[in-house]
Amino acid sequence: MNALSKSGVANSLSLLAAPTFAVMALVTAIGASPVDAFCSSSPLGGMAPMYFLMSVFHAAPWLKLLSRPPSCPAS
């Protein structure tokens, strides 16, 4: 595997992290059981806020991708 393909894999994986954590936060928040509310003493407790924060922390590759100017197609 050459350096270019390793870089492509790393870029793809970095773009997958934020949406994965966002989906995990949504599923955890929607599917929360009453026991989760009982065990959590704070509204910021539990797994859903942690997954949300992880998706925010892993959003940098998406922000970098969106901030790039569009590339011109080759003629």
Which residues lie below 8 Å from residue 37, measured CB to CB, with a gap of 6+?
none
Instruction: Give the residue from 70, 54, 64 showing the smallest Cα distance to 17.
Output: 54
What percentage of the chain has pLDDT greater than the value 70? 68
What percentage of the chain has pLDDT greater than the value 90? 0
pLDDT tens digits, 9-41:
888 888 888 888 888 888 877 876 665 555 555
Higher local confidence (pLDDT), 66 or 40: 66
For CA atoms 7, 12, 15, 21, the dihedral sign is negative
Give residue 43's pLDDT band: very low, low, confident or very high (50, 70, 90): low
